[in-house]
Amino acid sequence: MFRTVERTPSGVRLLDQRKLPQAAVYITCKTPEETADAIRQMVVRGAPAIGVTAAFGIAVAASEAATLDPGALDRRIAEACELLAAARPTAVNLFWAIARMAEAAREFRAAGCGNAELAEALEREAQAIHDEDLAACRAIGRHGATLVPERATVLTHCNAGGLATAGYGTALGVIRGAIEAGKKVRVLADETRPLWQGARLTAWELMEDGIETVLITDGSAGGLMRGGQVDLVVVGADRIARNGDVANKIGTYSVAVLAKENGVPFYVAAPLSTVDLACPDGDRIPIEQRDRREVTEPFGTRIAPDGVGVLNPAFDVTPARYVAAIVTERGIARAPYEASLAALASGA
Amino acid sequence: MFRTVERTPSGVRLLDQRKLPQAAVYITCKTPEETADAIRQMVVRGAPAIGVTAAFGIAVAASEAATLDPGALDRRIAEACELLAAARPTAVNLFWAIARMAEAAREFRAAGCGNAELAEALEREAQAIHDEDLAACRAIGRHGATLVPERATVLTHCNAGGLATAGYGTALGVIRGAIEAGKKVRVLADETRPLWQGARLTAWELMEDGIETVLITDGSAGGLMRGGQVDLVVVGADRIARNGDVANKIGTYSVAVLAKENGVPFYVAAPLSTVDLACPDGDRIPIEQRDRREVTEPFGTRIAPDGVGVLNPAFDVTPARYVAAIVTERGIARAPYEASLAALASGA
């Protein structure tokens, strides 16, 4: 079984997702700089996974700088937080995890901890973020399974699986949860251009688990829904605004509109660390624009003429009205999301 | 300027569209068998263009077999019609052009023509199909230009350009017509997986004409429409049923639904040879399923795990209710299409 992200004695060990499905190769980031680079270059991706990765990157920084004087250690932690926060802009789990690590550092210092204790505390905090994410995914799977019919064809977009989390997955966690509950599930995986997370990652990890998977181009999803071949859609999220608007991989909005038009329920599965209650609606979520070559040069083959313009937004926003439910580790939120998400977040 | 398809003394000369945009290479099909292969392998594609190509393929067969006895020539023509008709199933222009050539052969034989006269007549008929298609595209451009605002961003899917026709294009003909009418047009080109006709062909031919073109992934179109960045959509068609349902490149239905949801007019541009009055609705249109490797091995790079299921329909059907207008060479059809298309087809 693969490990998406883990702390090893030598650093933050990541499964290099750029190489999948041809090869399962691991790399180890020995500094927060290398960790930020790995996030930026999408060695690791998926909102929960990059949050966990950043937390480990800060723990690495603290452990390495523990021999310095306390002021220098604190500056190194602050620097690590800053450069990891600059790695990617859209997924809020990154900022959530960094803020949680920074807060832990402040608290332990305020409690009078020395460097060694502080570094150890940050290692524990990062591991807790990892372990809680895995537990959250399993809980999402249990809650989400109730939404899946006994026999279902489920369409998903991008990869919100074990590769996008500490393990088990959010959207794919719902699928795994349904199968563990004895349901028969077949998955339609959108390939998800430009980086093919559906083809390279979702199909790979589902087939590793022996789950029936059919790959389609992004443009095929609508026609299959119109043909009655999709029972439900479930996707992950990079950030959910207070009102239930969902930022997720580019193309998600299209899937949501097509689902609504065809009477197919569209579900979002995400841990509460993905919900940004400080963000009132989806239009305030910063959307990352990525390199034009992701579109014009897939795998180094130039497919478009020189000089053509390119727009390559990595994410889009699906307004809450298209979302039938949001599955979290504490239960299922329904519209109106402003109330239901706030209640789940507060543990009410 | 490129020539998509033409009759030369040695056969049917085609611009090999599989090689674009890297190289503009021409190949010559010397027999109807080679011509059918070129259509099947998508050396040439686009509903009007494959109709013209098939007509030339039949003319080649007749000219080559003109030295045989009359019965043998007639059998060779019938055989050419049959094998060309088997090349691809969805675009009706192919069958329309073949039927027109077969009918011409019958008429000239019935009028007492010998082999040499018959072969010449079929050469003239094929050239007429070519020339009429080019004229139809220019007329589509003139009619369609009236639908385009003075300054407009136009989204298109796949390639319905000069490369899909005898020249000038249908959807891209509307764009060219608008520009010739003095309007300022910027084009958003969907890349159009799995074969990237948008990236490889549409972007290439528009940029050859100096038309501002921005390439996007298929999954980006919806978000751009939601963001108010698209003024209208125009696409071509492979077959239009009597009721106005439109079969076109896979992904077209998604674009149409997203356009409707965002109040963006969705136009179809096609010659009347694309209208199949014998076909009552879109669900009766045969949809070609193509090789799984188009999805799993773009340019020979394997992007999906072995053994994954694949669905690769080449076309989908957009119900007429999503279509704001159908632009033909005889004018613009509006709903109800059963009446408006029949009227245009009859020349009324």
**Residue B175 tokens, joined:** 């764009």
Q: What is the ipTM of this complex?
A: 0.97
Residues B208-220: tens digit of each pLDDT: 999 999 999 999 9
What is residue A289's DSSP assignment? B
Residue B192 near chain A (CB below 8 Å): yes
Residue B224 near chain A (CB below 8 Å): yes
Q: Find the mean pLDDT for residues A74-90.
A: 98
**Is the C-alpha dihedral spanning A222, A226, A227, A232 positive or negative?**
positive
Positions of A marked catalytic: 238
For residue B348, the model assigns a pLDDT of 65
Positions of B marked catalytic: 238
- A347, pLDDT greater than 90: no
Q: How confident is the model at residue B1 (pLDDT cuts 50, 70, 90)?
A: confident
Of the candidates B251, B268, B314, the residue with the CA atom closest to the CA atom of residue A223: B251
Q: Find the mean pLDDT for residues B305-321.
A: 97
Cβ <8 Å between B309 and A257: no
**Is the C-alpha dihedral spanning B136, B137, B142, B146 positive or negative?**
positive
SS3 B225: helix
Q: Would you say how long chain A is, in residues? A: 348
Residues B92-104: tens digit of each pLDDT: 999 999 999 999 9
Q: Find the mean pLDDT for residues B231-258.
A: 98
* A195 backbone dihedrals φ, ψ, rounded to 5°: -105, 5
Cβ <8 Å between B199 and A21: no
**Residue A126 tokens, joined:** 């990062």
Q: Find the mean pLDDT for residues A71-94.
A: 98
Q: B216 near A310, Cβ under 8 Å?
A: yes
Q: How confident is the model at residue A178 (pLDDT cuts 50, 70, 90)?
A: very high
- What is d(CA A306, CA A291) in angstroms, rounded to the nearest whole number? 15
Based on C-alpha coordinates, what's the Rg of chain B?
Answer: 20
Looking at beta carbons, which residues of chain B come within 8 Å of A226?
253, 316-317
Please state, for a pLDDT cut of 90, what percent of chain B lies above it. Answer: 99
Residues B37-48: tens digit of each pLDDT: 999 999 999 999
Residues B282-298: tens digit of each pLDDT: 999 999 999 999 999 99
How many alpha carbons lie under 13 Å from residue B156 in its C-beta half-sphere?
34
Looking at beta carbons, which residues of chain A come within 8 Å of B302?
21-22
Cβ <8 Å between A308 and B217: no
Q: A276 near A239, Cβ under 8 Å?
A: yes
* A11 backbone dihedrals φ, ψ, rounded to 5°: 155, -150
Identity of the amino acid at B187: V
Burial class (CB in 10 A: 0-12, 13-18, 19+), A310: buried
Q: How confident is the model at residue B146 (pLDDT cuts 50, 70, 90)?
A: very high
**Residue A179 tokens, joined:** 């199968």
A158 Cα to chain B: minimum distance (Å): 11
Nearest CA in chain B to A193: B217
- B143, pLDDT greater than 90: yes
Residues B164-178: tens digit of each pLDDT: 999 999 999 999 999
Residue B261 near chain A (CB below 8 Å): yes
A66 Cα to chain B: minimum distance (Å): 43
What is residue A202's DSSP assignment? I
- What is d(CA B217, CA A191) in angstroms, rounded to the nearest whole number? 12
Q: How confident is the model at residue A1 (pLDDT cuts 50, 70, 90)?
A: confident
* A228 backbone dihedrals φ, ψ, rounded to 5°: 75, 20
Q: Find the mean pLDDT for residues B181-195.
A: 98
- B150, pLDDT greater than 80: yes
Q: A179 near A144, Cβ under 8 Å?
A: no
Q: B183 near B142, Cβ under 8 Å?
A: no
SS3 A235: strand
Taking one residue from A and the other from B, the number of pairs with CB-CB distance under 8 angstroms is: 194
Interface test with B, best of A200, A214, A217 (most B CBs within 10 A): A217
Residues B55-94: tens digit of each pLDDT: 999 999 999 999 999 999 999 999 999 999 999 999 999 9
- A348, pLDDT greater than 80: no
- B181, pLDDT greater than 80: yes
Residue ranges in A161-262 assigned as alpha helix (H): 171-180, 197, 203-208, 221-226, 252-261
Is-above-0.80 flag for pTM?
yes
